[in-house]
Amino acid sequence: MALAVSGTDAADRLDGLTSWHADWRGLRVVVLGLGVTGFAAADTLAELGADVLVLTSSADDERAGLVDVIGARLVVEPLDDAPASLIDHRPDLVIASPGFHPDHPVLAWAEQTGVPVWGDIELAWRLRDKVGDPAEWILVTGTNGKTTTVQLTAAFLAAAGLRVAPCGNIGVPVLDAVRDPQGWDVLVVELSSYQLHHLRRSGPGALAPHSAVCLNLADDHIDWHGSFEAYRDAKATVYANTRVACVYNKADENTQRMVEDAEVQEGARAIGFGLGVPGPSDFGVVDGILCDRAFLEDRRNTAIELTTVIELEARDLGAPHVVANILAAAALARSAGVDPLTIRTALESFTLDAHRIATVAFEDGVRWVDDSKATNPHAAQASLRAFGSVVWIAGGLLKGVDIDDLVRTQAHRLRGAVLIGVDRSELRAAFERHAPELPLAEVDTDDTGDVMPRAVRLAAEVARAGDTVLLAPAAASMDQFADYAERGHLFTQAVHEYLKGEADDADAAPTRRDDQ
């Protein structure tokens, strides 16, 4: 039976719930959403003995069938307003899944009635002591590069012999990681701006990470946060209460200001990273050598070599934005005591995930590259800058993001462009303004299976030896594809089929023999 706790008593009780071993029994909780994060929250709270109601407007059949099994209740109904099921539950706490906008009717109801709202990250932080000594948390956010930096950091830590779990927005809920019976030494947590929005900066439940980084900041998710300033403020939360190292991007003034404004613990250091020569307390590049000038005794006069750009290029890791991610991850790992040789060794076997600036073919002097993960202009710009002469396949669902500046600044490196997706008109208009002479082609089919074969054929007509045909859409994929992975897979498949067809045609061509 649920315990009746309300008002000041409820607030005091929540403030005291900062351990797995606290008494969570009977706490009335509403979990919003039944995605991966929502299910993990419901499962965790039910295991703790809370009275859990899951509210969602739609539910995966498999997860929905498990809600009763874990000991929670599920209500699937429209959430255009605060439903009666919510009000009747009289919750002491609401757990919001990351996708719920701050102005969602249920969250507005919670604010009006004084019911606290947590995200899954705060809940996981409070419960981090389930298995032995709590793991250290290293936090990673940014507009682009989060997943790669999390994977790099985790690889460096694992190579040093630490038990490490990459988790959070990367796909594994943090709540699943803290409940893993084997326990961890370090959690490397990827955080979206949605997750950071719900984090408090002080008081009970406030995170105090070992180290943290915001990799970069560009216009993204403005529709969710309401303004760039709100988006920036959410990202800045990553540095609150940091204990050892606040890592920031020297090429992005926003991240530096975040660190300067952050309330951190005594002894925390600001560590910059960038592609230029590093200053003391920075990571950077000197004559093609990646260097650490932060974690050594004589950092004003010397530096430690980590690896070289040439070595990274040999493993498809030499793109400038990837090098920047490596420097950021190295800074985080060094802050945790990983030695430079271990980082260098780990890089020898590290590979990027699929659809992240991956070379899928090289034929007749033309490189074909899949960077379908470049789902916004900032990511596409980083990808374009990695190559000299590009035939660019771009477009998709722009979500209101301004594409004009990207076209204006990158048009000089383009041999041509092929436009795909529903928002082609905005791209076309940008090219007409900034590169009217550039060869431009469009794929106007609505057939998902035909988009990439057409795009590849059109790109091949323009490409010359020395060019890169680059899929870096600068847009979301859901207009024509299930996700960016399907978009990249179909591109790769279309490239291989096109090149095989060209080879077959060449083999079938008759050999001409001149008469003597």
Query: Does 509 map to a domain?
Result: no
Q: In this structure, are 156 and 288 located in the same domain?
A: yes
Q: Which residues are annotated as a binding site for ATP?
A: 142-148
Do residue 328 and residue 373 come from a single domain?
A: no
Indicate if 235 and 370 belong to the same structural domain.
no
What integer is the mean pLDDT of 130-151? 94
142 and 171 assigned to the same domain: yes
3-state secondary structure labels for all residues of 439-462? CEEECCCCCHHHHHHHHHHHHHHH
Packing angle between helix 36-47 and helix 61-70, nearest 10 degrees? 10
Q: Report the distance separating Cα 277 and Cα 269, nearest Å.
A: 19
Mean pLDDT, residues 85-92: 94
Q: Name beta bridge partners: 157.
A: none
Please write the tens of the pLDDT for every residue from 292-336: 999 998 988 999 999 999 999 998 899 999 999 999 999 999 999
Last residue of a domain, one of 118, 153, 184: 118
Question: What order do you get walking across the sheet with 245-249 strand by strand?
Answer: 164-168, 186-190, 136-141, 211-214, 245-249, 269-273, 282-286, 289-292, 304-308
Verify that 446 and 408 share a domain, yes or no: yes
Contact 232, 220 (CB under 8 A): no
Return the ∠ at Cα 244 (arms to 243 and 247), rounded to 5°: 115
Which strands make up the sheet holding 51-56, listed edge to edge? 73-76, 51-56, 28-32, 93-96, 117-118
Exposure b/e, 183-215, CB count within 10 A at least 16 = b = ebbbbbbbbbbbbbbbbbeeeebbbebbbbbbb
pLDDT in tens, 26-83: 999 999 999 999 999 999 999 999 999 999 999 888 999 999 999 999 999 999 888 8
* 339 and 365, same domain (yes or no): no
> Of 320, 347, 374, which residue constitutes the final position of a domain?
347
Domain that holds residue 455: 358-504
* CATH number reported for the structural domain that contains residue 170 in this entry: 3.40.1190.10
User: Which of helix, strand or coil describes residue 211?
Assistant: strand
Q: CATH code at 45?
A: 3.40.50.720
What is the per-residue pLDDT across 376-434, written as a single tens digit (0 to 9) for each? 998 899 899 989 999 999 999 987 788 999 999 999 999 999 999 999 999 999 999 99
State whether 156 and 50 are in the same domain: no
Query: What's the pTM value of the predicted model, to 2 decimals?
Result: 0.83
In a domain? residue 123: no
Domain tally, the chain:
3
178 and 62 in one domain? no
Same domain, 287 and 426: no
> Is the same domain home to 248 and 287?
yes
> For 160, which DSSP code?
T
Residues comprising the binding site?
142-148
- The Cα 475–Cα 426 span in angstroms is 12
Closest residue by Cα to residue 448 from 479, 493, 417: 479
Is residue 194 in a domain? yes
Please determine, for residue 5, whether its predicted confidence score (pLDDT) is greater than 60.
no
CB burial string 386-424: b at 16+ within 10 A, e below: bbeebbbbbbbbbbebebeebbeebbeebbbbbbbbebb
Q: Does residue 169 share a domain with residue 42? A: no
Give the total residue count for the chain: 516
Residue 158: pLDDT above 60?
yes
Asked if residue 2 is part of any domain, the answer here is: no
194 neighbors 376 (Cβ within 8 angstroms): no
Considering 321, 347, 373, which residue would you say is the last residue of a domain? 347
Task: Return d(Cα 155, Cα 142) in angstroms, integer.
Answer: 19
Cα–Cα distance, 126 to 405 (Å, whole number): 43
Contact (CB, 8 A) for 385 and 275: no
Q: Write the pLDDT tens digit of every residue in 484-498.
A: 999 999 999 999 999
Same domain, 392 and 373: yes
What CATH number does residue 450 fall under?
3.90.190.20
Q: Quick check: is 516 in a domain?
A: no
